[in-house]
Chains A and B, each alone.
Chain A
Amino acid sequence: MTQGHLSGQVSVVGAATAGIGWDTRNSVSEIMAEAANKALDDAGLRLAEVDGVFAVTPYYWMPSATLADQLGIQPKVTDSTNIGGASVVAHVGHAVRAIASGQCEVAVIAYASTQRSDGGKLVTGADVLPYERPYGALFPISGYAMVMQRHMHDFGTTREQLAKVTVAASRWAALNPEALKPEPLTVADVLASPLVSDPLRKLDICLVTNGAGAIVLTSTERAKKLRKPAVSVLGTGESHSHCYVTNMRSFTATAGVESGKAAYEMAGLGPEDMDFAQIYDAFTIMVLLGLEDLGFCKKGEGGGMIDAGIGPGSRLPVNTTGGGLRYCHPGMFGIFLLVEAVRQLRKECGKRQVETARCGLVHGFGGVLAGNATVILGVDT
């Protein structure tokens, strides 16, 4: 069934981050609740009005219950769906349906992690398939390395093209006062960084930081009475092709093809209508795959599109914060993609503002390209 009747019914009315940094004296639940409270302040809504809580983090058994408990509220609906970094992007689709069907009126979606302060490594609850355990593949790094290797083999994608993803991210980060790594980088810098899992190098990999983010959603009808411009959810889509690297159907294409198609169909829009894209970039290859699979270029032409430019001033601005590569990366970056899309559409982005921003795409990948969720957001102009 087409989902078009849901397009534009629900809007994002608040967005905030909290605790982004290298060090913290606060717990995960504290910074997650702080982000939620700041997003409610941004919306001009009261905590007591929140009756839907959507949350994910590897730290808690029942993340949405932990957040509701920390906030001291009793929601009617919660959702802790965990599909890795795509989780909160998928939560948007779930919240749209909960609000549109009357299950709840005001929904908070949040994520937090203090992985930098907890050992400086990615914190996940990831299990290992018995048929992979004896072989020492780094999770998720070696999976992405093998995707990179196959894409380079099949399509002639070059190391330089992939390095340019990090370079573009560094140029965006230089314009973002919240970015933790605003220093300029060159292709040579990326290619001189140590190999971790060939052909993937250290500067192909995201940062490991602390941080939290949250957004608030309600009906567009109500959103129009609130103080900030309503950012409407025009389209949402999901597709989940596997969990383990062993069972990937392809090492060069993702289920973003299907999640993107669903989101475009619901919105009645296409890639040519997007003024920017926020594509989860835990590894450089993810941006290239996102550009191809979400229809911004043809399969195999992602390298050429990156050569043409995805940084400031490019035809399609991509990852305008500096992304997980240079802004921050507390483990699941999806919430930061959404917060930035909202800020861009409200024209709150200062030096990195995409002037033409009326409509934008957010794509979350989870695990090794396993979970895929796409959201299309737009503002009335």
Chain B
Amino acid sequence: MAHTDCGHLEQILVSENIPPRPLPDTRNAGEKFWIAAAEGVLLVPKCTACSRTFWHPRPRCPHCGSTSVDWIKATGNGTVHTFTVVRQSGDPYFKTKLPYAVAMIELDEGVRIMSNIVDTPLEVLRIGMRVEVLFEAAPGGIAIPLFRAQSRGA
């Protein structure tokens, strides 16, 4: 575990023995999101014209159409809106992870994103539970944001 300078944020180093996690296409408006994740920072797009956050990253604000889109640093804290535990998969990477949790996380910044909940017993997963981000390093100078149950006192 390589700790970053972001307090509760951690980087998980990928083992070399398992097939790689499927990676996102970064040739789009979200490139900075994945690069920032490698620095231990969770970014959320915010429109400077209408001051609203949105998801997913786009060149134009989906609320007002402005191209004045910037990023804000998210706290990395959120709430589970809904989740599922996946029990079967044909994917070479996810086959090694079964069973695993996929969730929709409502970030405190007001957007809902998909992620995995890791380092958390599956039987404690609940809608409404508080979670915090951590980052898994990936090839190409990016990292994948994941979530886990918030540690006590967070």
Is A308 engaged at the interface, CB distance under 8 Å to the other chain? no
Judging by beta carbons under 8 Å apart, are A137 and B102 in contact? yes
Contacts of A149 in B (CB 8 A): 82-84, 127
Judging by beta carbons under 8 Å apart, are A147 and B82 in contact? yes
Q: How large is the interface on B (under 10, 10 to 19, 20 to 34, 35 or more residues)?
A: 35 or more
Is B26 engaged at the interface, CB distance under 8 Å to the other chain? yes
- A191 to B107 alpha-carbon distance, docked (Å): 34
Judging by beta carbons under 8 Å apart, are B22 and A146 in contact? no
Chain A residue nearest in CB terms to B86? A197
Judging by beta carbons under 8 Å apart, are A131 and B114 in contact? yes
Judging by beta carbons under 8 Å apart, are B91 and A195 in contact? no
Partner-binding segment picked from B4-12, B66-74, B93-101 = B93-101
Is A142 engaged at the interface, CB distance under 8 Å to the other chain? yes
Contacts of A244 in B (CB 8 A): 56
Contacts of A134 in B (CB 8 A): 21-24, 138, 144
Judging by beta carbons under 8 Å apart, are B88 and A136 in contact? no
- A23 to B89 alpha-carbon distance, docked (Å): 25
Chain B residue nearest in CB terms to A199? B84
Interface residues of A in 135-189 (CB under 8 A from B): 135-138, 142, 145-147, 149-150, 153
- A129 to B83 alpha-carbon distance, docked (Å): 18
Chain A residue nearest in CB terms to B56? A131
Judging by beta carbons under 8 Å apart, are B55 and A136 in contact? no
Judging by beta carbons under 8 Å apart, are A245 and B114 in contact? yes
Q: How large is the interface on A (under 10, 10 to 19, 20 to 34, 35 or more residues)?
A: 20 to 34
The 8 A-B residue pairs with the shortest CB-CB distance in the complex, in nearest-first order: A130-B24, A145-B84, A136-B94, A150-B82, A198-B85, A146-B82, A137-B102, A153-B127
Judging by beta carbons under 8 Å apart, are A194 and B87 in contact? yes
Is A133 engaged at the interface, CB distance under 8 Å to the other chain? yes
Judging by beta carbons under 8 Å apart, are B56 and A195 in contact? no
**Within the complex, what minimum Cβ distance (angstroms) separates A227 from chain B?**
49
Contacts of B55 in A (CB 8 A): 131, 246-247
Is B25 engaged at the interface, CB distance under 8 Å to the other chain? yes
Contact partner of B88 among A133, A146, A196, CB < 8 A? A196
- A251 to B102 alpha-carbon distance, docked (Å): 14
Is B32 engaged at the interface, CB distance under 8 Å to the other chain? no
Chain A residue nearest in CB terms to B91? A136
Interface residues of A in 181-238 (CB under 8 A from B): 194-200
The answer to whether A198 and B84 touch (CB under 8 A), given A129-B56, A131-B30, is yes
Is A132 engaged at the interface, CB distance under 8 Å to the other chain? yes
Q: B129-150, CB under 8 A of A: which get 1 and which 0? A: 0000000001000001000000
